[in-house]
Structure 1
């Protein structure tokens, strides 16, 4: 099981149960604001906003909260200007990490990210040292009860690139520009899409052979995601079913 698939599934489970729900909402709203500011307030004319809007709704962010964020971003309400930054680094065991940040204070964010790497046994990397190992993709998590053959046929017809098991769900991969259309066709076909997002997928994976090492990597990812300015963290690690079972 690839690291990004496992981590996406873990994050989806946490979204419904985690005591940090308010922090999750705040991060999603920030993503909506940035997408609206850069591409305009109409989701139908702004693919990035459409993706972030749906991502927020998947996580049960109230509709009026999303609409207020769009108004702030487009001048209807006072808001904050956020800068997009990507940090790169390595977790214990040589696992490559990409950390996507939206911040109103570059110095604060850089200090927070560096502190987590230091405390959790990782290391920061120079810009470009890690990014080339990842490709931007669309990712949909579909309810795991769906029949594999039926989902495979429907996904291929909709234009998806791949389908793999991701814990208790199915992960459907698409080209970034096809995320919305594939999701729409799958939902129209009766499949339950749990969430959809643009993600970074590793070209090659680093196997993690034991639960102890896996826990160190996941603890670092968890600590990075706990930073307010951090929106997403991606890694190129691979977990065997045995390791996943031990972690569970």
Structure 2
């Protein structure tokens, strides 16, 4: 059960409009630029952070031309925007745990926006550490199941160093320790696997279900508002939404 919420969140994102895709491209572009500046230059062979970002960009169908252009620009002197990573933690309706990871060039603007969303949709922003203990950092690689043999994928994954393997009706979910993620992903990529998603994530230890319609609506609107904000890179939560199984 632990993975199905994650996969359905991905499925929902895949079905989003072209406008939403452009927003995803913008966010990943920001991550790529930061990886070049802070991770050690424009060569993914010597910059593991950049290598991970490129893999994420490809899994999200960002064109190679875009990736190369962003890396080139970040490596030059033309872009002196300074971004900082700030993580916010809080509660959605009925105590749903929410972690919001941002990359911002204006922390006051971002903090104000994030607080506003929580207040508006029945939640509240908490202090650092208030919900992160409910999550574990894990690498998660998602592969579409169609045309693949479960035993073979599991064998390849565990051989590559994965810590856990789960089969859903649509996908295979391969979990790794954070420090093993890049190696497992590279190994599976070399074996010819393509990924729906591949990144280090905050995976909830337990999930919470919302039963009343008003809370469900507010939680969905909170997530939509956060994902729509250009400064927000990732939103992790422990909401188990059975409606996403359709």
Aligned partners of 2:220 and 2:163: how far apart in 1? 27
Q: Which residue of 2 aligns with 1:110?
A: 111
Shift of 1:205: 2.7
RMSD of aligned Cα (Å): 2.3
Give matches, 1:132-171, under 5 Å.
Answer: 132-145=133-146, 146-165=148-167, 168-171=170-173
2:121 counterpart of 1:120 = yes
Give matches, 1:1-248, under 5 Å.
Answer: 1-2=1-2, 5-15=4-14, 17-19=16-18, 20-40=20-40, 41-145=42-146, 146-165=148-167, 168-209=170-211, 213-240=215-242, 243-245=243-245, 248=246
Shift of 1:180: 2.4
Aligned partners of 1:96 and 1:173: how far apart in 2? 21
1:192 alignment partner, SS class: coil
Native 8 Å contact 2:150 2:167 kept in 1: no
What TM-score, normalized to structure 2? 0.88
- Shift in alpha-carbon separation, 1:211–1:193, aligned structure 2, 3 A: farther
2:240 alignment partner, SS class: strand
Mind listing any 5+ residue stretches in structure 1 that lack a counterpart? none
1:96-137 Cα shifts (integer Å, max 9, x gaps) = 110000011101101111111111111100111112222221
Total equivalences in the alignment: 243
Q: Which is strand-richer, 1 or 2?
A: 1
Native 8 Å contact 1:9 1:166 kept in 2: no
Shift of 1:70: 2.0
Between 222-231 and 77-86, report the one with greater CA deviation. 77-86
Aligned partners of 2:33 and 2:151: how far apart in 1? 39
- Shift in alpha-carbon separation, 1:14–1:238, aligned structure 2, 3 A: closer
2:122 alignment partner, SS class: coil
What TM-score, normalized to structure 1? 0.87
1:181 alignment partner, SS class: helix
- Shift in alpha-carbon separation, 1:152–1:100, aligned structure 2, 3 A: same
1:68-88 Cα shifts (integer Å, max 9, x gaps) = 322333334324111110000
Shift of 1:238: 3.0
Aligned partners of 1:85 and 1:5: how far apart in 2? 28
1:152 alignment partner, SS class: helix
Between 97-106 and 12-21, report the one with greater CA deviation. 12-21
Aligned partners of 2:78 and 2:167: how far apart in 1? 43
